[in-house]
Amino acid sequence: MSEPGPRTRQPRHAGTSRRGWLGLAAGLALAPRLAGAQTAPWPNRPVRMIIPAAPGSGMDIVGRAVSRQLQDAWGVAVVVENRVGAGGTIGTDVLAKAPRDGYTMGVVNSSSLAISPAMMPNIPYDSLTSFAPLGLGASNDCALGVRADSRFHSVADVVAAAKAAPSTLTWASAGSGSSTHMAGELFRLTAGVEIVHVPYRGSPPAVTDLLGGQVDMTFNTINALVAGIRDGRIRALATTGPTRDPLLPDVPTFAEIGYPAYEASGWIGFAMPAGTPPDIVAAASEAIRQATGSAPFQEIMMTAGMRPRSLSGADFAAFLPVEIRRWTDVVQRSGARPD
């Protein structure tokens, strides 16, 4: 009788060991907490709102008005951060390079996304690929303003004087590459006149020098000029929007006085960094649409001399390339350069 062979030990499955069962139990206990962390409602902590302009500017007014609405709707703090410099491109670049976690959004405008890229070839972001558009909030029409004691009582007076003596008149803007700069350049091209551009660092110093007699006229935002117009120190000759501005109902548009193709309105909107999760972008876009469509927001815009303009993120994304082409054409034809 042969002897039995050696007994073969059967390997134990790791999942059936005491250590394996303990590990599995711990994992199952942890899973609900991990799932809860991944599906926690957004936002559940403070959101940063970058405004690439100074306090009191049009971008700041729009950004702060929306941030208050969002804070009330979300129940979390919306922390405003003004990042000023280089015509808004510094703060806009900060937004472009922010974390893509849904906790940074920012204010963008026609200057930072549609004008400056055409004038500054080495700009550090791409207007079409660096951002996730959330929507528009307002448009900001300009006006051609002169001092109340000026010899110019109409746009026709300005054109006649400019043609009689080219490059002798001066016009102030709120800054090189701003919507006010483009409003003046487009007028110069449309009317066929040579008027010397004098850029300032913002609207207030441009208005101050207009009133002091250092420049002959200014293309500036209506919200920057309306106080001087109302108290009789400034005369508005025309506005740059598609229709008359509600704050200046007696002032004609350029289209009404013989320049039908002329329109130069700045705009202010909102964006997140490209790569932010689509569901967060969609939720933020809807929240901004509701905020900009609210009665309190619209009242703030009208009081500040701006037009409420609620546009969805998708519509903003379609609108942006059109604006880039439009202002790139003006920059190229006018030869405008950063000063």
**243-257 tens-digit pLDDT:** 999 889 999 999 999
Sketch out the chain's domains with CATH numbers.
47-139+266-334 (3.40.190.150), 141-257 (3.40.190.10)
Per 3-state DSSP, the chain is made up of helix, strand and coil in percentages (nearest 5) of 45, 20, 35
Across 311-336, average pLDDT = 95
Distinct helix (H) and strand (E) counts, the chain: 12, 10
End-to-end CA distance of the chain: 108
Across 116-131, average pLDDT = 93
Give the CA-trace dihedral at 69, 109, 256, 187, to 10 degrees.
160
The total number of residues written for the chain in this structure: 339
What's the pLDDT score for residue 104?
Answer: 98
On average, the pLDDT of the chain sits at 89
Across 22-51, average pLDDT = 63
- CA 84 to chain CA centroid, nearest Å: 13
Residue 270 β-bridge partners: 107, 135
The pair of structure tokens assigned to 121 is 């070839």
The pair of structure tokens assigned to 4 is 């039995």
pTM, two decimals, is 0.83
CB atoms within 10 A of CB 54: 14
Task: With cut-offs at 50, 70 and 90, classify the pLDDT of residue 39.
Answer: low
25: pLDDT strictly greater than 60? no
